[in-house]
Amino acid sequence: MIRAAMQTTVRPLALVFALATVAAIALAGCSVFESGPKSRPVAFKEEPDIRVRVKKDAILTRIEGPTRMVIRPSTVVRAEAVRGPLTFRGTVNGMVMTDASGREREFAPGTDVEILPREMSEAERLSSDAYKPGDALVVDGETQPGFLVIHPRSSEGGVIDVIAVMPMETYVPGVISRELFATWPRQAFECQAVAARSYALHERERSRRAREFFDVESTTKDQVFGGLSSLPVAIEATRATRGMIITEGSTGALAKAPLRTYYSSTCGGEQASARDVFPTTAKFIFNAAKPLQVQKRDHFCQSASRYRWEVRRTDTELTQRIRAWGQYAGNPVKNMGRLVECEDLDRNITGRPIRYLITDDRRQTFKLSGEELRNACNFAAPGQPELTRETRVNSGNLEMNFAGSSVLIRGKGFGHGVGMCQFCAKGMAEKGWDWPSMMKLFYPGAGVTKAY
């Protein structure tokens, strides 16, 4: 989970159907988003929508579902019925749609095609309860609720993106059913639902202020979204917390500004501050929010399989991966010789390392944050094998022991360690905690509000 940077700005979608103005969903009761990097208060009269990029850089995508679907290219006003399944193929001249009869239709560059599973009234689109499995569209075998936008990127090699647009309360179960194990207590699911909703609304505001064509990715770059969910505990937890979000503060304007509620699998008993993991420049000033900075607290994730872990690598492999990451990130470590030493420079109040000093065989030294070191150790490099659960470095909380060409890496936790710890939430739930109590621990000083 978690996208640290915005994507390239692309023109906004013209989400208007002949049947109703879908743009009204996006703006229904929503406050005007102002320019600038800081989070702004948001309030909704009705449940907002969310635009999820479920396919990126696809050459070909297949849309299945009802026999009759409704499509509308963004260059026209009138919608039309077509027979599915449909396939879309990206080209340097736009894209080509093929319907069930084999008839092809070309769309010029810059033309988005919106697909609805059936004709729906505006009221239905505004209600998450109106979406049923029979209404869903299937994108390359994965069921997606809401409607779709096929977005061609002709100037980038003729690839296409698929955006699923749905009510927020339909989106949330699709996230939390993938983020947590189905057997976990309901209170943990409720905590995760509030965190997922808060993060999504924060990203929604940022994306629309920047005039992006989607709000969130369906991968760990934001939050994993698995499409339409039928998991009862996920649906129940979402309904029980409907509209509830975590805010940057408890009073004033910050009491309505969604907090970027980071979360990860396992803190390992030593948590991290957002400012030590993510950038805090003007564009990312939200990472300096007080509730995202670590305070020493109890932890409950001892049952996690990666509460403590160790992996073994060779110094050659680590060196090549770190160099490759340095080349990608524009970091001086790209010129590193053979890795011979790694030690932490400083730690936060929980004991988690903030920065490391790595040394090569030429006695050159380089400084990396914990998250940079984790990403570098896991970075793909030519000639190096694909990483597995047994070989992956799981967090930036680690120590390296060198013995000849072998490096033993011992670590604590899984993920960046900022905000909510999912295994801690499980442990708290098993002890009878409710989600508001958990949130006070994960995001100290934050507020709670009902956004809609």
DSSP characters for 178-218?
Answer: HHS-TTS-HHHHHHHHHHHHHHHHHHHHHHHHTT-S-SEES
Is residue 106 domain-resident? no
For the stretch 321-366, pLDDT in tens is: 999 999 999 999 999 999 999 999 999 999 999 999 999 999 999 9
Domains: count for the chain: 1
Residues 193 and 169: their CA atoms lie apart, in Å, by 10
* Vertex 291: Cα angle to 410 and 265 (nearest 5): 35
Q: Taking 80 as the threshold, does the pLDDT of residue 3 lie above it?
A: no
408 within domain boundaries: yes
| pLDDT tier at 394, thresholds 50, 70, 90 | very high
How would residue 148 be classed by pLDDT, with cut points 50, 70 and 90? very high
For the entire predicted model, the pTM comes to: 0.87
Q: What percent of the chain has pLDDT over 90?
A: 80
Answer whether residue 406 is part of any domain. yes
Which stretch, 90-94, 132-136, 175-179, has highest mean pLDDT?
175-179
Judge whether 67 lies within some domain.
Answer: no
Residues in Cβ contact with 241 at an 8 Å cutoff, skipping those fewer than 6 apart: 190, 193, 194, 197, 435
Confidence of residue 19 (pLDDT cuts 50, 70, 90): very low
Q: What angle do CA 39, 44, 47 make, to 5 degrees?
A: 115
In a domain, residue 336? The reply is: yes
The single residue listed with the structure tokens 């360690």 is: 417
Helices (H), 38-161: 122-126
Q: What is the mean pLDDT of the chain?
A: 89
Q: Is 367 a member of any domain? A: yes
Give the domain range for residue 391: 308-412
pLDDT at 134: 63
Look at 269 and 93; give whichever has higher pLDDT: 269
- Contact partners, residue 10, CB within 8 Å, separation at least 6: 151, 211, 212, 213
Q: Using CA atoms, how far apart are residues 32 and 215, in angstroms rounded to an integer?
A: 16
Q: For 196-218, what is each residue's pLDDT tens digit?
A: 999 999 999 999 999 999 999 99
